[in-house]
């Protein structure tokens, strides 16, 4: 479930669908938090995943503006 949620965000970013990526991130974030709260993954790992996914979304959002 966790890996699928992360993959959906990455797939949307690579497809250039920023709205889809943000929606997928909104679904992935609570999954990461839930897994961390239950001790399935370390809380720092959850924070790192969230940070890196948001970073990729922001870079994808700013890339078309830089090219234009």
Question: Which pLDDT tens digits describe the chain residue by residue (68 residues)?
Answer: 999 999 999 999 999 999 999 999 999 999 999 999 999 999 999 999 999 999 999 999 887 654 44
pLDDT of residue 64: 63
pLDDT of residue 65: 59
Residue-level pLDDT at 38: 97
- What is the reported pLDDT for 32? 97
By the 8 A CB rule, do 21 and 2 touch? no
b/e map 32-48, b = 16+ CB within 10 Å: beebbeeeebeeeebee
């Amino acid at each position: 479930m966790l890996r699928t949620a992360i993959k959906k965000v990455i797939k949307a970013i690579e497809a250039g669908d920023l709205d889809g990526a943000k929606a997928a991130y909104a679904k992935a974030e609570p999954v990461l938090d839930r897994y961390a709260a239950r001790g399935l993954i370390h809380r720092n790992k959850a924070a790192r995943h969230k940070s890196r996914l948001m970073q990729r979304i922001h870079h994808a959002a700013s890339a078309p503006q830089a090219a234009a």
